[in-house]
Structure 1
């Protein structure tokens, strides 16, 4: 006879208790992981910096948001995983970025914790420059100076090539990330989605920028197209993937951003399309990737208040101490430059019509009345407003403080040195190397013959390319017909500004 065993109530109670205990343990474990991750990844918390210089170099302005921010740990491994796309470089310094020891990313990248650490661009990416006395000397960095070595277009092209690569998959990217340290299991899940969204986001950005960039000459280092990315990004629905030939090229040199307080009320941007320093800064934040919801006004204002009083850097090389020559140079400056470029001068901060100044018209044409109308509508319902944008008919006169550090010259960076700017336009260099930081203290600008520094190749700039013309700002009123002796005296005085 077979005896059938029937489980009694005590055994059933034990099994239920074990299941309940396991469920409680699992819930507590999940709660512990949640609390751990919550303390590690507080939502929407940018990394903050007590020192204003670190805040300028690494603080958030809103570009590290969930829409445009990129996962930090993925960004750190891209140069290693996709080194062949660096075209001989080793890391992000390939694109002229400045990497300081111990920092997770170069100058100009901020970090925000929002689920995972995200990075974005800030003001310093375009406004920290580098100068060295020779190819073999150490560089000196200046805050507020145009980022003369940074090639933003080459950097974005690198990201595009990475996203197009068949190896850019969650599994392979996460495997590479974990070579630098294992991820928690919940982090792995977050990163799987983040990697895929990063790839899609980069490809969307590529498609938007490719509306105009393949048709134009490359930016090269130290330059950017200011407003056309706006048209294809923030206002892509209006432009629908098309820019007219007349307005699709607006490449300009990065400007300096020191000593901003006296500039309040002047016509800002190269074409003078805005007269509010804060409004211009907010506009620049959108160009760096901030959105209407995430633009960080308090942190932008903190930078502004510092830049208001940041002095221009002194000329770092030997200059003439001959009092007679300096007096001669100052008299020439007063006669030829001060009316338009000295703070307090009658014409400083005013727009000179294109027919009068005669410089390359492309940047002027790229900012249109239509874009202005779209910008005005863009701010409705937010704490900031674009009230001061306007369409102009030329380029704005700017003060010359720290002019030695703002080479190359003219709005498109088409004239390498002050000596060349004082040369009649038809005799200015038509091809020269830029994007390095080796300085010519005599002619005042970066040397035109340096092809490579520390393994990083310079960019060959050609004035024959559309948007690159070095014409204009020439003739007797601009000092290009002075004697050589007068020109050298004027240059010596300009070194003192």
Structure 2
């Protein structure tokens, strides 16, 4: 019997183990290596930090960056993602997009995606960034539809995408093979699967109202239906939950039971609000970054509202404060007011705004969300279904139009004068209406901009878009209304 050369066997086995180790290290480095994204400055961290959703909902960054070049015909205009309302300030990625390396750099949205806006103070001036605001110019639905349309486009091929990436910079031969053979096909498949899942309800015909759900339009989102149908796996229903994004300035810290959050007060814990918003942005219970979410929660309690950028008539504002108190506004909207951040029943005579957003969040949805993370350190237990809308604070109200939970009233003047509320107007511009207060909604060129998709046409006759209700102050004289509006500029 031939004697086994044990030394040779050890060398062969050792070589194979070394090769396996090298291959394993290569696979880890190119596909699983995780480089955390965090910034020392709290504002920068809010704008560009990761919330932990890149692995589940991220797109390889080089592919994401190349898409506007590959599929410009699916965007509303020139400028790439900026044409959809994303805000750039000198970086490659816009505010609201984190770029975190998990094998390769991946782009994903963060909290700032829905909470940054701009205002153009003077004609021709550079826009000012309003961090923590409602993303009044952002077309979230348009962004998703662009990604889906590009994934379905015949130009979205391994050759086409790699060539676009090459034009923007260099790829090593190994990285080119990874993109060509793995990342591009997987990204295309994932986007098309997402399209089929989301459009199943987004484009669904709603028998009770006689047509499909309304388009979200600029500054609006149907976040909680998205959660209901795809994270909580509840059956599709006919509810419509499209509403404006909310500003995050000076959010009161969680004091259990004292304050309500979101438009309909569906939760009274700011911690659960922050965590569930991350889940709504694609993070999972296991992937979300608790430290980052906690840091953002603390940032929200400190973030200042932007001051009104124009001159204010001090005497008129002082008179407006008296009107504000006399008319009962302070009781609902001032910190310490009897109904501050309380849920006001929708059947209150002077409220009675559109019911759709409130009715969308059902008791079944609240119970399902409370079960969603059972057995984990998160363990939601404060979700609920309500019968009204929250009396929100008015910090920076000049920069948060259009008004009401669904953004159906363009200016504060129209809010105080229900008889003059327009049936149709346009959303998405960044110029301020200094007299009526809100963003310009009826400029001469808005119809043409709407046809291009650069602003959104808002029709209050569509389901979920009703502009009725909130008639508080409607009985005031014109002078009192103008004084009240002047005062609200100071908030």
Q: TM-score, normalised by structure 1?
A: 0.87
4+ long deviations beyond 4 Å: 27-31, 33-42
Residue matched to 2:361: 367
Classify 1:369/1:433 alpha carbon distance in 2 versus 1 (closer, same or farther; 3 Å): same
How many angstroms apart in 2 are the aligned matches of 1:351 and 1:47?
37
Equivalent residue, structure 1, for 2:60:
71
Q: How does 1:265-414 map to 2 (within 5 A)?
A: 265-322=258-315, 325-336=316-327, 337-356=329-348, 357-414=351-408
Please say which structure displays the higher CA radius of gyration. Answer: 1
Rounded to whole Å, the distance in 1 between the matches of 2:432 and 2:336 is 30
> RMSD value over aligned CA atoms?
2.5
Partner of 1:496: 490
Matching residue within 446, 454, 476 for 2:439: 446
Listed as ranges, the matches of 1:74-473 within 5 Å are 74-101=63-90, 103-191=91-179, 192-214=181-203, 215-236=212-233, 238-239=234-235, 243-245=236-238, 247=239, 249-261=240-252, 264=255, 265-322=258-315, 325-336=316-327, 337-356=329-348, 357-424=351-418, 426-450=419-443, 451=446, 457-473=454-470
Residues 353, 395 of structure 1: 8 Å contact kept:
yes
Question: CA separation of 1:166/1:384 partners in 2, compared to 1, >3 Å: closer, same or farther?
Answer: same
User: What TM-score, normalized to structure 2?
Assistant: 0.88
Could you tell me how far 1:381 is from its partner in structure 2?
Answer: 2.3
Q: Which runs of 5+ in 2 are unaligned?
A: 1-10, 204-211
Q: Which structure 2 residues correspond to residues 42-53 of structure 1 after superposition, within 5 A?
A: 43-53=33-43
Distance 1:202 1:135 in 2: 39
Q: Given that residues 211 and 232 in structure 1 are in contact (C-alpha distance below 8 angstroms), is that contact kept between their aligned partners in structure 2?
A: no
Equivalent-residue separation in structure 2 for 1:383 and 1:171 (angstroms): 45
- Residues 136 and 433 (structure 1 numbering): CA distance in 2 closer, same or farther, change over 3 Å? farther
Question: What is the CA distance between 1:379 and its match in structure 2?
Answer: 0.6
Superposition deviation, residue 89 in structure 1: 2.5
> CA–CA distance in 1 between the matches of 2:337 and 2:379?
30
Q: Aligned partners of 2:122, 2:27: CA distance in 1, in Å? A: 49
Query: What is the deviation of 1:28?
Result: 8.2
Please say if residues 77 and 454 of structure 2, whose CA atoms lie closer than 8 Å, have aligned partners that are also in contact: no
Instruction: Indicate if the aligned counterparts of 2:266 and 2:386 stay in contact, CA closer than 8 A.
Output: yes
Cα 1:219–1:134, aligned 2, differ >3 Å: closer, same or farther? farther
Distance 1:347 1:87 in 2: 42
Secondary structure of residue in 2 paired with 1:104 = coil
CA distance in 1, matches of 2:460, 2:260: 26
| Cα displacement (A) at 1:182 | 3.2
1:106, distance to aligned residue in structure 2 (A): 1.0
What is the SS of the residue equivalent to 1:227?
Answer: helix
Shift in Å, 1:437: 0.5
The alpha carbon displacement at 1:198 in A equals 1.1
Contact 1:279 1:385 in 2 (8 A): no
| Distance in 1 separating the partners of 2:108 and 2:470 | 37
8 Å contact kept, 2:37–2:99? yes
Post-superposition CA distance 1:279-335 (Å, at most 9, x none):
01111111111112111111011111122111211111111122xx23321111112
The count of residues paired between Structure 1 and Structure 2 equals 461
| CA distance, structure 1, for counterparts of residue 254 and residue 290 of structure 2 | 20
Residue pair 1:250, 1:467 contacting (<8 A) in 2 also: yes
1:62 to 37, 46, 52: 52
User: Residue 355 of structure 1 aligns to a residue in which SS?
Assistant: coil
Report if aligned partners of 1:41, 1:113 keep a CA contact under 8 Å in 2.
Answer: no
The question of whether the paired residues in 1 share the 8 Å contact of 2:242 and 2:464 is answered with: yes
Secondary structure at 1:112 match in 2: strand
